[in-house]
Structure 1
Amino acid sequence: ALCKYLAHHPSALPDGARIELGAGLGMCGIAVAKLDHARGANYPVVCTDGIPSLIPYIEANALANGVSLRAAHLLWGDTAATQALLRRLDRCQPGAVLGADIIYQLDAIPALVATIVQLDPKVALLAARLRDHEVRDALAEHTRLAGWCVEELQRGWGEQNWDTVILFSLEKRGPVVKEVAHNAVSQQSGPRQHLCGIDQSRTGR
Protein backbone atom coordinates (compact mmCIF):
# COMPACT_ATOMS: atom_id res chain seq x y z
CA ALA A 1 0.00 0.00 0.00
CA LEU A 2 2.75 2.48 0.92
CA CYS A 3 4.73 1.61 -2.22
CA LYS A 4 1.67 2.24 -4.40
CA TYR A 5 1.00 5.54 -2.67
CA LEU A 6 4.57 6.70 -3.31
CA ALA A 7 4.44 5.50 -6.91
CA HIS A 8 1.38 7.70 -7.48
CA HIS A 9 2.79 10.61 -5.44
CA PRO A 10 6.60 10.65 -5.70
CA SER A 11 6.58 14.27 -4.51
CA ALA A 12 5.56 12.91 -1.10
CA LEU A 13 9.26 12.13 -0.62
CA PRO A 14 11.10 15.32 0.34
CA ASP A 15 14.80 15.81 -0.30
CA GLY A 16 17.09 13.85 2.00
CA ALA A 17 17.88 10.32 3.06
CA ARG A 18 15.15 7.68 3.14
CA ILE A 19 15.04 5.39 6.18
CA GLU A 20 12.72 2.41 6.36
CA LEU A 21 11.82 1.06 9.79
CA GLY A 22 10.78 -2.55 10.28
CA ALA A 23 11.86 -3.23 6.71
CA GLY A 24 11.48 -7.01 6.77
CA LEU A 25 12.89 -8.04 3.39
CA GLY A 26 13.28 -4.42 2.26
CA MET A 27 10.50 -4.21 -0.32
CA CYS A 28 9.53 -0.61 0.47
CA GLY A 29 13.12 0.64 0.57
CA ILE A 30 13.88 -1.08 -2.74
CA ALA A 31 10.78 0.47 -4.33
CA VAL A 32 11.79 3.93 -3.08
CA ALA A 33 15.33 3.50 -4.44
CA LYS A 34 13.85 2.60 -7.84
CA LEU A 35 11.48 5.59 -7.74
CA ASP A 36 14.36 7.93 -6.91
CA HIS A 37 16.48 6.49 -9.72
CA ALA A 38 13.62 6.91 -12.21
CA ARG A 39 13.31 10.61 -11.42
CA GLY A 40 17.05 11.26 -11.25
CA ALA A 41 17.25 11.65 -7.47
CA ASN A 42 20.24 10.27 -5.60
CA TYR A 43 19.62 10.04 -1.87
CA PRO A 44 20.84 7.42 0.59
CA VAL A 45 18.31 4.67 1.29
CA VAL A 46 18.67 2.69 4.51
CA CYS A 47 16.48 -0.31 5.34
CA THR A 48 16.47 -1.17 9.03
CA ASP A 49 14.98 -4.00 11.03
CA GLY A 50 15.15 -5.21 14.60
CA ILE A 51 15.91 -8.80 13.54
CA PRO A 52 19.62 -9.11 12.67
CA SER A 53 19.14 -12.24 10.56
CA LEU A 54 17.04 -10.26 8.05
CA ILE A 55 19.87 -7.88 7.11
CA PRO A 56 21.59 -10.25 4.62
CA TYR A 57 18.22 -10.89 2.94
CA ILE A 58 17.62 -7.17 2.50
CA GLU A 59 21.05 -6.78 0.93
CA ALA A 60 20.48 -9.78 -1.35
CA ASN A 61 17.07 -8.48 -2.46
CA ALA A 62 18.54 -5.06 -3.22
CA LEU A 63 21.28 -6.66 -5.31
CA ALA A 64 18.74 -8.82 -7.16
CA ASN A 65 16.70 -5.71 -7.97
CA GLY A 66 19.70 -3.72 -9.13
CA VAL A 67 19.51 -0.98 -6.51
CA SER A 68 22.06 0.42 -4.11
CA LEU A 69 21.01 0.79 -0.49
CA ARG A 70 22.27 0.12 3.01
CA ALA A 71 20.81 -2.36 5.47
CA ALA A 72 21.20 -1.96 9.22
CA HIS A 73 20.02 -3.57 12.42
CA LEU A 74 18.01 -1.07 14.49
CA LEU A 75 15.90 -1.63 17.56
CA TRP A 76 13.33 1.09 18.15
CA GLY A 77 14.16 3.15 21.21
CA ASP A 78 17.89 2.35 21.02
CA THR A 79 19.31 5.87 21.17
CA ALA A 80 22.93 4.88 20.61
CA ALA A 81 22.08 2.76 17.55
CA THR A 82 19.92 5.54 16.10
CA GLN A 83 22.73 8.07 16.53
CA ALA A 84 25.16 5.66 14.87
CA LEU A 85 22.77 5.30 11.94
CA LEU A 86 22.57 9.07 11.53
CA ARG A 87 26.37 9.29 11.47
CA ARG A 88 26.42 6.75 8.63
CA LEU A 89 24.36 9.12 6.49
CA ASP A 90 27.38 11.39 5.95
CA ARG A 91 25.54 14.54 7.06
CA CYS A 92 22.60 13.90 4.72
CA GLN A 93 19.54 14.89 6.73
CA PRO A 94 16.74 12.30 6.73
CA GLY A 95 14.04 13.43 4.35
CA ALA A 96 11.56 10.63 5.00
CA VAL A 97 11.12 7.81 7.47
CA LEU A 98 8.97 5.02 6.04
CA GLY A 99 7.12 2.13 7.61
CA ALA A 100 4.83 -0.44 5.99
CA ASP A 101 2.47 -2.29 8.34
CA ILE A 102 4.60 -1.77 11.44
CA ILE A 103 1.86 -0.29 13.66
CA TYR A 104 0.14 -3.19 15.34
CA GLN A 105 1.64 -3.65 18.82
CA LEU A 106 0.47 -1.18 21.43
CA ASP A 107 3.56 -1.52 23.62
CA ALA A 108 5.87 -0.77 20.65
CA ILE A 109 4.37 2.66 19.89
CA PRO A 110 6.44 4.72 22.41
CA ALA A 111 9.74 3.33 21.10
CA LEU A 112 8.63 3.78 17.48
CA VAL A 113 7.71 7.43 18.00
CA ALA A 114 10.91 8.07 19.98
CA THR A 115 12.98 6.66 17.12
CA ILE A 116 11.18 8.77 14.51
CA VAL A 117 11.65 11.91 16.60
CA GLN A 118 15.34 11.18 17.09
CA LEU A 119 15.84 10.59 13.36
CA ASP A 120 14.11 13.96 12.85
CA PRO A 121 12.97 13.54 9.24
CA LYS A 122 11.01 16.13 7.30
CA VAL A 123 8.13 13.65 7.24
CA ALA A 124 7.38 10.11 8.37
CA LEU A 125 4.93 8.05 6.31
CA LEU A 126 3.50 4.96 7.96
CA ALA A 127 0.93 2.73 6.26
CA ALA A 128 -0.98 0.16 8.27
CA ARG A 129 -4.07 -1.99 8.27
CA LEU A 130 -5.21 -1.16 11.77
CA ARG A 131 -6.19 -4.08 13.91
CA ASP A 132 -6.89 -2.08 17.07
CA HIS A 133 -8.06 1.53 17.44
CA GLU A 134 -6.14 1.76 20.72
CA VAL A 135 -2.96 1.55 18.66
CA ARG A 136 -4.03 4.51 16.53
CA ASP A 137 -4.91 6.52 19.63
CA ALA A 138 -1.57 5.67 21.24
CA LEU A 139 0.27 6.78 18.09
CA ALA A 140 -1.57 10.11 18.16
CA GLU A 141 -0.94 10.65 21.88
CA HIS A 142 2.78 9.81 21.88
CA THR A 143 3.31 11.87 18.74
CA ARG A 144 1.55 14.85 20.33
CA LEU A 145 3.59 14.53 23.53
CA ALA A 146 6.77 14.56 21.42
CA GLY A 147 5.75 17.88 19.87
CA TRP A 148 4.85 16.38 16.51
CA CYS A 149 1.59 16.11 14.61
CA VAL A 150 0.07 13.00 13.06
CA GLU A 151 -2.46 13.13 10.25
CA GLU A 152 -4.56 10.32 8.86
CA LEU A 153 -4.92 9.96 5.09
CA GLN A 154 -7.29 7.24 3.95
CA ARG A 155 -7.29 6.16 0.32
CA GLY A 156 -9.11 3.70 -1.90
CA TRP A 157 -7.31 2.00 -4.76
CA GLY A 158 -10.11 -0.34 -5.73
CA GLU A 159 -8.40 -3.32 -4.11
CA GLN A 160 -9.97 -5.77 -1.72
CA ASN A 161 -9.77 -4.54 1.90
CA TRP A 162 -7.76 -1.47 0.84
CA ASP A 163 -10.31 0.79 2.53
CA THR A 164 -9.08 -0.52 5.89
CA VAL A 165 -5.53 0.69 5.23
CA ILE A 166 -4.60 4.08 6.66
CA LEU A 167 -1.61 6.19 5.74
CA PHE A 168 -0.26 8.22 8.65
CA SER A 169 1.84 11.31 8.03
CA LEU A 170 3.95 12.52 10.97
CA GLU A 171 5.61 15.93 10.97
CA LYS A 172 7.24 18.17 13.53
CA ARG A 173 4.56 20.50 14.80
CA GLY A 174 4.79 24.21 14.06
CA PRO A 175 2.81 27.10 15.53
CA VAL A 176 -0.23 26.08 13.47
CA VAL A 177 -1.53 22.79 12.13
CA LYS A 178 0.27 22.25 8.84
CA GLU A 179 -0.91 20.53 5.71
CA VAL A 180 1.10 17.48 4.72
CA ALA A 181 4.31 18.90 3.28
CA HIS A 182 3.89 17.26 -0.10
CA ASN A 183 0.24 18.41 -0.44
CA ALA A 184 -0.38 15.28 -2.44
CA VAL A 185 -3.85 14.31 -1.30
CA SER A 186 -6.26 14.53 -4.20
CA GLN A 187 -9.95 15.27 -3.93
CA GLN A 188 -10.64 11.57 -4.49
CA SER A 189 -8.64 10.49 -1.46
CA GLY A 190 -11.35 11.00 1.13
CA PRO A 191 -11.37 13.10 4.29
CA ARG A 192 -8.33 13.94 6.36
CA GLN A 193 -8.29 13.66 10.10
CA HIS A 194 -5.87 15.64 12.25
CA LEU A 195 -4.89 13.84 15.43
CA CYS A 196 -2.32 16.25 16.83
CA GLY A 197 -4.49 17.54 19.64
CA ILE A 198 -4.38 21.19 18.55
CA ASP A 199 -7.48 23.32 18.90
CA GLN A 200 -7.93 24.25 15.24
CA SER A 201 -10.33 27.07 16.14
CA ARG A 202 -7.29 28.97 17.40
CA THR A 203 -5.29 28.54 14.24
CA GLY A 204 -7.61 30.52 12.00
CA ARG A 205 -8.38 27.44 9.90
Structure 2
Amino acid sequence: MIINEDLLLSKGEIRYYKPNQLIFCENEFPFYYYQIIEGNVKLNSYKEEGKEFIHSILSDGQNFGEYAIFADKPYPMNAETVTKSTIVRLPKQIFLDVVGQRPELLSRIVRSLSQGMYYECVMKKYLTSLSPVVKIRGLLDYLKSSQNKNFLYSFKIPLTRNQMGCLTGLCEETVIRTIKKMEKEKIVSIRNGKIFY
Protein backbone atom coordinates (compact mmCIF):
# COMPACT_ATOMS: atom_id res chain seq x y z
CA MET A 1 0.00 0.00 0.00
CA ILE A 2 1.58 3.25 -1.16
CA ILE A 3 -0.48 5.72 0.85
CA ASN A 4 -1.55 4.76 4.37
CA GLU A 5 -5.27 3.92 4.37
CA ASP A 6 -6.09 6.37 7.21
CA LEU A 7 -4.43 9.25 5.37
CA LEU A 8 -6.06 8.20 2.12
CA LEU A 9 -9.54 8.07 3.67
CA SER A 10 -9.09 11.44 5.42
CA LYS A 11 -8.23 13.20 2.14
CA GLY A 12 -10.03 11.17 -0.52
CA GLU A 13 -13.37 9.60 -1.29
CA ILE A 14 -14.39 5.94 -1.40
CA ARG A 15 -15.98 4.69 -4.61
CA TYR A 16 -17.72 1.32 -5.02
CA TYR A 17 -17.60 -0.37 -8.41
CA LYS A 18 -19.37 -3.35 -9.91
CA PRO A 19 -17.43 -5.88 -12.02
CA ASN A 20 -16.56 -4.69 -15.56
CA GLN A 21 -17.10 -1.02 -14.72
CA LEU A 22 -14.83 1.64 -16.27
CA ILE A 23 -12.91 3.81 -13.84
CA PHE A 24 -11.26 5.92 -16.52
CA CYS A 25 -10.84 5.73 -20.30
CA GLU A 26 -7.87 5.98 -22.59
CA ASN A 27 -7.15 9.58 -23.67
CA GLU A 28 -8.94 11.14 -20.67
CA PHE A 29 -6.89 13.59 -18.66
CA PRO A 30 -6.15 12.52 -15.08
CA PHE A 31 -8.10 14.12 -12.28
CA TYR A 32 -7.48 11.51 -9.54
CA TYR A 33 -4.96 9.17 -7.93
CA TYR A 34 -6.52 5.75 -7.30
CA GLN A 35 -5.74 3.09 -4.68
CA ILE A 36 -7.55 -0.22 -4.38
CA ILE A 37 -8.91 -1.07 -0.93
CA GLU A 38 -10.44 -4.34 -2.12
CA GLY A 39 -10.95 -5.92 -5.52
CA ASN A 40 -9.20 -6.29 -8.87
CA VAL A 41 -8.65 -3.75 -11.62
CA LYS A 42 -7.23 -4.32 -15.08
CA LEU A 43 -5.40 -1.72 -17.13
CA ASN A 44 -6.24 -2.47 -20.75
CA SER A 45 -6.46 -1.18 -24.28
CA TYR A 46 -7.96 -2.50 -27.48
CA LYS A 47 -6.19 -3.28 -30.73
CA GLU A 48 -7.58 -2.02 -34.04
CA GLU A 49 -9.47 -5.27 -34.59
CA GLY A 50 -11.12 -4.91 -31.18
CA LYS A 51 -9.01 -7.54 -29.35
CA GLU A 52 -8.32 -6.61 -25.74
CA PHE A 53 -4.74 -6.30 -24.52
CA ILE A 54 -4.31 -6.31 -20.73
CA HIS A 55 -1.29 -4.35 -19.53
CA SER A 56 -1.65 -5.45 -15.92
CA ILE A 57 -4.08 -6.68 -13.30
CA LEU A 58 -3.96 -4.96 -9.91
CA SER A 59 -5.34 -6.00 -6.54
CA ASP A 60 -5.79 -4.94 -2.90
CA GLY A 61 -3.45 -2.14 -1.82
CA GLN A 62 -2.15 -1.37 -5.29
CA ASN A 63 -2.38 2.04 -6.90
CA PHE A 64 -2.80 3.35 -10.45
CA GLY A 65 -3.14 6.54 -12.42
CA GLU A 66 -0.27 8.42 -10.79
CA TYR A 67 2.03 8.14 -13.83
CA ALA A 68 -0.41 10.24 -15.91
CA ILE A 69 -0.64 12.83 -13.12
CA PHE A 70 3.14 13.21 -12.94
CA ALA A 71 3.49 13.29 -16.75
CA ASP A 72 0.52 15.67 -17.09
CA LYS A 73 -0.63 13.57 -20.04
CA PRO A 74 -3.85 11.71 -20.84
CA TYR A 75 -4.18 8.09 -19.79
CA PRO A 76 -2.62 5.73 -22.37
CA MET A 77 -5.04 2.94 -21.41
CA ASN A 78 -8.35 2.19 -19.68
CA ALA A 79 -8.86 1.13 -16.07
CA GLU A 80 -11.70 -1.34 -15.58
CA THR A 81 -12.80 -3.42 -12.61
CA VAL A 82 -12.53 -7.20 -12.90
CA THR A 83 -14.40 -7.89 -9.67
CA LYS A 84 -16.58 -5.90 -7.29
CA SER A 85 -14.12 -3.28 -6.04
CA THR A 86 -13.72 -0.62 -3.39
CA ILE A 87 -11.35 2.15 -4.48
CA VAL A 88 -10.28 5.39 -2.84
CA ARG A 89 -9.52 8.29 -5.13
CA LEU A 90 -7.69 11.47 -4.27
CA PRO A 91 -8.18 14.59 -6.38
CA LYS A 92 -5.05 15.37 -8.39
CA GLN A 93 -4.03 18.53 -6.50
CA ILE A 94 -4.55 16.95 -3.07
CA PHE A 95 -2.44 13.98 -4.18
CA LEU A 96 0.36 16.30 -5.36
CA ASP A 97 0.19 18.28 -2.10
CA VAL A 98 0.35 15.12 0.02
CA VAL A 99 3.30 13.76 -1.97
CA GLY A 100 5.09 17.13 -1.81
CA GLN A 101 4.83 17.20 2.00
CA ARG A 102 6.01 13.61 2.57
CA PRO A 103 9.39 12.59 1.05
CA GLU A 104 8.98 8.98 2.27
CA LEU A 105 5.74 8.76 0.28
CA LEU A 106 7.46 10.06 -2.85
CA SER A 107 10.13 7.40 -2.38
CA ARG A 108 7.46 4.65 -2.24
CA ILE A 109 5.81 6.02 -5.38
CA VAL A 110 9.13 6.06 -7.25
CA ARG A 111 9.69 2.46 -6.20
CA SER A 112 6.19 1.49 -7.38
CA LEU A 113 6.67 3.23 -10.73
CA SER A 114 10.08 1.54 -11.09
CA GLN A 115 8.54 -1.88 -10.46
CA GLY A 116 5.97 -1.14 -13.17
CA MET A 117 8.71 -0.17 -15.61
CA TYR A 118 10.66 -3.31 -14.70
CA TYR A 119 7.57 -5.45 -15.40
CA GLU A 120 7.13 -3.75 -18.78
CA CYS A 121 10.77 -4.43 -19.73
CA VAL A 122 10.61 -8.06 -18.64
CA MET A 123 7.34 -8.69 -20.48
CA LYS A 124 8.51 -6.97 -23.68
CA LYS A 125 11.41 -9.41 -23.82
CA TYR A 126 9.02 -12.37 -23.73
CA LEU A 127 6.25 -10.84 -25.85
CA THR A 128 8.59 -10.39 -28.82
CA SER A 129 9.08 -14.16 -28.98
CA LEU A 130 7.09 -16.13 -31.54
CA SER A 131 6.82 -19.09 -29.14
CA PRO A 132 3.62 -19.24 -27.05
CA VAL A 133 5.49 -21.31 -24.44
CA VAL A 134 8.12 -18.57 -24.04
CA LYS A 135 5.43 -15.87 -23.73
CA ILE A 136 3.39 -17.76 -21.14
CA ARG A 137 6.41 -18.98 -19.20
CA GLY A 138 7.73 -15.41 -19.06
CA LEU A 139 4.43 -14.22 -17.61
CA LEU A 140 4.36 -17.07 -15.07
CA ASP A 141 8.00 -16.44 -14.07
CA TYR A 142 7.25 -12.78 -13.44
CA LEU A 143 4.08 -13.48 -11.44
CA LYS A 144 5.79 -16.15 -9.35
CA SER A 145 8.85 -13.97 -8.68
CA SER A 146 6.67 -11.35 -7.01
CA GLN A 147 5.31 -13.97 -4.59
CA ASN A 148 8.63 -15.33 -3.30
CA LYS A 149 7.61 -18.94 -4.03
CA ASN A 150 10.53 -20.93 -5.39
CA PHE A 151 9.30 -24.51 -5.33
CA LEU A 152 7.85 -26.35 -8.31
CA TYR A 153 4.02 -26.06 -8.40
CA SER A 154 4.03 -23.84 -5.29
CA PHE A 155 2.34 -20.88 -6.98
CA LYS A 156 -1.33 -20.90 -7.99
CA ILE A 157 -1.80 -18.69 -11.05
CA PRO A 158 -4.42 -16.03 -10.17
CA LEU A 159 -5.47 -15.47 -13.80
CA THR A 160 -7.99 -17.03 -16.14
CA ARG A 161 -6.76 -18.44 -19.43
CA ASN A 162 -8.48 -15.53 -21.17
CA GLN A 163 -6.63 -13.01 -18.99
CA MET A 164 -3.34 -14.79 -19.70
CA GLY A 165 -4.10 -14.46 -23.41
CA CYS A 166 -4.88 -10.77 -23.08
CA LEU A 167 -1.63 -10.21 -21.15
CA THR A 168 0.50 -12.06 -23.72
CA GLY A 169 -1.29 -11.17 -26.96
CA LEU A 170 -2.30 -14.80 -27.54
CA CYS A 171 -5.82 -16.03 -28.21
CA GLU A 172 -7.46 -18.07 -25.44
CA GLU A 173 -7.38 -21.30 -27.49
CA THR A 174 -3.60 -20.95 -27.95
CA VAL A 175 -3.17 -20.41 -24.19
CA ILE A 176 -5.24 -23.54 -23.45
CA ARG A 177 -3.20 -25.68 -25.90
CA THR A 178 0.08 -24.26 -24.62
CA ILE A 179 -0.80 -24.86 -20.96
CA LYS A 180 -1.70 -28.48 -21.78
CA LYS A 181 1.65 -28.86 -23.56
CA MET A 182 3.43 -27.33 -20.56
CA GLU A 183 1.61 -29.77 -18.27
CA LYS A 184 2.82 -32.73 -20.36
CA GLU A 185 6.34 -31.34 -20.12
CA LYS A 186 5.89 -31.03 -16.30
CA ILE A 187 6.40 -27.25 -16.36
CA VAL A 188 2.99 -26.65 -14.77
CA SER A 189 0.48 -28.77 -12.89
CA ILE A 190 -3.28 -28.49 -13.35
CA ARG A 191 -5.47 -29.35 -10.36
CA ASN A 192 -9.24 -28.86 -10.45
CA GLY A 193 -8.84 -26.54 -13.42
CA LYS A 194 -6.32 -24.33 -11.59
CA ILE A 195 -2.78 -23.87 -12.87
CA PHE A 196 0.15 -24.30 -10.48
CA TYR A 197 3.66 -23.24 -11.44
TM-score normalised per structure 1: 0.23
After TM superposition, the score normalised by the length of structure 2 is 0.24
Q: Which protein is bigger by CA-based radius of gyration?
A: 2
